[in-house]
Amino acid sequence: MISDKKSLYSGLIFCLFGAFLFIDAWETLEIGTALRMGPGYFPIMIGGGLVLLGVAVMFSGRERTTFDFRALPWRAIVLLSVAILIFTYGLRPLGFVPATALLVFIAAKARRETSLQGALLISLALTAFCTLVFIYGLSLPIPLFGSLLGV
Amino acid sequence: MDIFSHLLLGVEVAFTPVNIFYCFLGALLGTLVGVLPGLGPTATIAMLLPLTFSIEPSSALIMLAGIYYGAQYGGSTTAILVNLPGEASAAVTAIDGYRMAQQGRAGPALAIAAIGSFFAGSVATLLVALFGPLLILIAQQFSPAEYFSLIVLGLISSIALAHGSVLKALAMIFMGLGLGLVGTDLYTGEPRFNWGIIELADGINIVAIAVGIFGIAEVFRNLERKGNEGEAKVAKVGKLLPTRAELRASAAPILRGTAIGSLLGVLPGGGALLSSFASYTMEKKLSKDPSRFGNGAIEGVAAPESANNAGAQTSFIPMLTLGIPSNAVMALMIGAMVIQGIVPGPKVMTDYPELFWGIIVSMWVGNAMLVILNLPLVGLWVRLLSIPYAILFPAIIAFSVIGTYTVNNSTFDLLLVIGFAVLGYILVKLECEPAPLLLGFVLGPLLEEHLRRSMILSRGDPMIFFERPISAALLVLAFIVLLVLVLPTVRRKREEVFVADD
């Protein structure tokens, strides 16, 4: 077993990405020759190189390391992703102000210690600031309130 | 046209009210993010990249440049007063600077840092003005083969910038090259790795990658520590003016720091970070009494602060003249140019002289502003240190997300941001540095283009890269750099140098 888990996992990521590039290029793109390189020639080189490097990284570990997926800051990762997703799909129907307020509120709560009132305050202040900068300062063509809200 | 008329043109551009405003804004923002730990120039420039879309190219680059060198000034303030590197390249400044602050000499330490930075910045700006055009003359002789080899050298050198395993950094470069493939094949127009997604037809948006990997992944990292932000203990500034003896002791280190920084800044893979570490190590070696270092030696503040600012300035040389970025910030500057429709490379100086010379002169203007911003106003910045991260990070998120959306009005780019944030965070946790990935991404399409053009020129014979002397020399240099980086002694040294960064 490889005891350097950080090398093992990063090596795996490199291998997977490299293999994907290699196989996809091999199957869908014309490779060509060294003289007339097709669209697939360079991708094959990069993909192949990445697989080799990935394998080398996997076995390059010199010390014992661990990597615990459960120890990742899942609260932050999930809440921030959700916040961005809500902004992404809420911007059109809701409009700039509500979408930004939701984005900031949920993001602020990604930090456990921030209280509900604190998050609300941060959300209010930053939404006002962002509206000033983006809508009035940079005059972005996004409606302040969307059609869904009937304004 | 001689250098003076060039500089005069630069003065005309840099001194328009609009550009003075953007230069000031950049310097101000740079100081701000330099002072604040947990927000660096790379993340800030990534965040503001979309906003530069709507302003003039020269104003945009003047502002972004200001953020980069402004951060070098601001970083020293936090390093000296709080013993935290507000910005990675100020890490070594904290060693002796904070000691000086504890001894009640925070004022002189700050003053020397600002004086050294200003001197170094002025010299380095002049060097950019002198050597930029020379380098362009050489670059105009370059065929695709030389470009290919130069890019290889640039990519390999970027490994020096990353800590940890050379193999991992190399793999990260390849990962970046791979991401750079997405889009459309340049020669045939055939779609490549874009699965019919319209938003990917022109490739992955650099803003999405940069904001994800440098902006939001960094927020994940800062949020993983529980109950972080203990009130930072800020040392008293006291009187600012250094004594005559302190000034005399700093003069030579400032000169040496400027020289090292200017040199390392030009090299691919160089820039502010490497410069400050290298010059601190050198001062310690040269000192008659090395034990003073770590105990409040003013040389330990003067040299690295001069070096990081010089390095920050001269790292513009390869970016402006060759279109080859030497670090992640320069890669984003290239991105900014591309967004503006400017093709980076030796033609920038002839096609956009007002941009080229305007940036150079503005650097000097910005440096002068920074001295004023940082010395008399230091109390203001110190107060900023009490902005809790609880407020700072939602602001980072909001600006990143809204900004990214505005580049293309694309919701797809925001999905990419989430993906790259998670990927970037996991890679960092696995001890893979993201800077080489970004360089690979920016340089990948160029690398492929020059490779393919060279092979057509040579009728498919790869020996072309070794038969042309400059190209061969560059490749040999790249090979030596790689060799040196994996040598056991150098490897140990790098680990030693980067320890201070953690």
Q: Which of B192, B441, B491 to mutate to test the interface with A (most CBs of A within 10 A)?
A: B192
Give the pLDDT band (50/70/90) at residue B482: confident
Angle between helices B57-82 and B328-339 (to 10 degrees): 160
Enter the pTM of the model: 0.82
Mean pLDDT comparison of A111-120, B242-251, B411-420, highest-scoring range: B411-420
Residues 96-125 of chain A whose Cβ lies under 8 A from any Cβ of chain B: 100, 103-104, 107-108, 110-114, 118, 122-123
- Of residues B231, B232, B247, B230, the one with CA closest to residue B105: B247
Residue, of B233 and B337, whose pLDDT is higher = B337
Please list, in sequence order, all residues whose beta carbon lies within 8 angstroms of the beta carbon of residue B281, skipping any fewer than 6 positions away: B497
Distance between CA B159 and CA B170 in Å, rounded? 7
pLDDT value of residue A150: 59
pLDDT value of residue B501: 39
Q: How far is A125 from chain B (nearest CA, A)?
A: 10
pLDDT for residue A54 is more than 90? yes
pLDDT for residue A86 is more than 90? yes
Please list, in sequence order, all residues whose beta carbon lies within 8 angstroms of the beta carbon of residue B357, skipping any fewer than 6 positions away: B6, B7, B9, B10, B13, B129
Q: Which residue's entry shows tokens 């500057």? A: B333
pLDDT value of residue B493: 59
pLDDT value of residue A1: 63
pLDDT value of residue B502: 34
Q: How far is A146 from chain B (nearest CA, A)?
A: 16
β-pairing, B191-192 vs B183-184, is antiparallel
Tell me, letter by letter, the H, E, C secondary structure of A90-137: HHHHHCHHHHHHHHHHHHHCCCCCCCHHHHHHHHHHHHHHHHHHHHHH
- Of residues B109, B131, B470, the one with CA closest to residue B305: B109
Residues of A in contact with B430 (CB under 8 A): 6-7, 9-10, 13, 67
> What pLDDT, in 10s, does the model give residues A21-30?
999 888 888 8
pLDDT value of residue B226: 57
pLDDT for residue B1 is more than 60? no
> What pLDDT, in 10s, does the model give residues B8-61?
888 888 899 999 999 999 999 888 888 877 677 888 888 888 878 778 888 999
Residue, of B229 and A85, whose pLDDT is higher = A85
Residues of B in contact with A75 (CB under 8 A): 223
> Around Cβ B467, how many Cβ atoms within 10 Å?
11
Specify whether the CB–CB gap between B114 and B371 falls below 8 A: yes
Distance between CA B351 and CA B343 in Å, rounded? 10
Q: Across the interface, do B397 and A83 touch by the CB < 8 Å criterion?
A: yes
pLDDT for residue B254 is more than 80? yes
pLDDT for residue A43 is more than 50? yes
Average pLDDT in chain B = 83
Residue, of B476 and B197, whose pLDDT is higher = B476
Specify whether the CB–CB gap between B37 and B80 falls below 8 A: no
Please list, in sequence order, all residues whose beta carbon lies within 8 angstroms of the beta carbon of residue B114, skipping any fewer than 6 positions away: B73, B76, B370, B371, B374, B375
pLDDT value of residue A56: 92
Long-range contact set of residues A34-41: C-beta below 8 Å, sequence gap at least 24: A34/B455, A34/B460, A34/B461, A34/B462, A35/B455, A35/B456, A35/B459, A35/B460, A36/B456, A36/B460, A37/B451, A37/B452, A37/B455, A38/B188, A39/B185, A39/B187, A39/B188, A39/B190, A39/B192, A41/B452
Distance between CA B380 and CA B160 in Å, rounded? 36
Closest residue of chain B to A8, computed from CA coordinates: B430
Residues of A in contact with B51 (CB under 8 A): 138
Instruction: Taking residues B240-267, report their average pLDDT.
Output: 86
Query: Which of B234-243, B386-395, B452-461 has the least mean pLDDT?
Result: B234-243
Give the pLDDT band (50/70/90) at residue A46: very high
Residues 64-83 of chain A whose Cβ lies under 8 A from any Cβ of chain B: 67, 72-73, 75-77, 80-81, 83
Q: Which residue's entry shows tokens 């930075």? A: B117
pLDDT value of residue B48: 82
Specify whether the CB–CB gap between A87 and A99 falls below 8 A: yes
Instruction: Taking residues B419-443, report their average pLDDT.
Output: 89
Residues of A in contact with B181 (CB under 8 A): 21, 42-43, 46
> What pLDDT, in 10s, does the model give residues B47-61?
888 878 778 888 999
pLDDT value of residue B423: 94
pLDDT value of residue A136: 82
| Percent with pLDDT over 90 in chain B | 12
Q: Which residue's entry shows tokens 């940079």? A: A138
β strands within B94-197, DSSP E: 183-184, 191-192
Please list, in sequence order, all residues whose beta carbon lies within 8 angstroms of the beta carbon of residue B157, skipping any fewer than 6 positions away: B267, B268, B269, B270, B326, B478, B481
ipTM value = 0.91
DSSP secondary structure string, B263-324?
A: HHHHSTT-SHHHHHHHHHHHHHHH-S-GGGTTS--THHHHHHHHHHHHHHHHTHHHHHHHS-
Q: Is B124 exposed, middle or buried (0-12, 13-18, 19+ CB in 10 A)?
A: buried
pLDDT value of residue B232: 56
pLDDT value of residue A5: 83
> What pLDDT, in 10s, does the model give residues B89-139?
777 888 888 888 888 888 888 889 889 999 999 999 888 888 888 888 888
Instruction: Provide the Cα torsion B121, B127, B132, B133; round to 10°.
Output: 140
3-state secondary structure of A32: strand
- Residue B237: phi and psi, rounded to 5, are -75, -45
pLDDT value of residue B495: 57
> Around Cβ B258, how many Cβ atoms within 10 Å?
29
> What pLDDT, in 10s, does the model give residues B125-163?
888 888 888 888 888 888 888 889 988 988 888 787 666
Least CB-CB distance to A84: which of B394, B399, B414?
A: B414
| Percent with pLDDT over 70 in chain B | 92
Query: Which of B304-313, B473-482, B492-501 has the least mean pLDDT?
Result: B492-501
Instruction: Taking residues B368-386, report their average pLDDT.
Output: 81
Give the pLDDT band (50/70/90) at residue A104: very high
- Which two tokens mark A110? 């990604």
Q: From the centroid of its chain, how far is CA B190?
A: 34
pLDDT value of residue B425: 92
- Of residues B361, B405, B373, the one with CA closest to residue B58: B361
pLDDT for residue A139 is more than 70? yes
Tell me, letter by letter, the H, E, C secondary structure of B182-226: CEECCCCCCEECCCCCHHHCCCCCHHHHHHHHHHHHHHHHHHHCC
pLDDT value of residue B499: 47
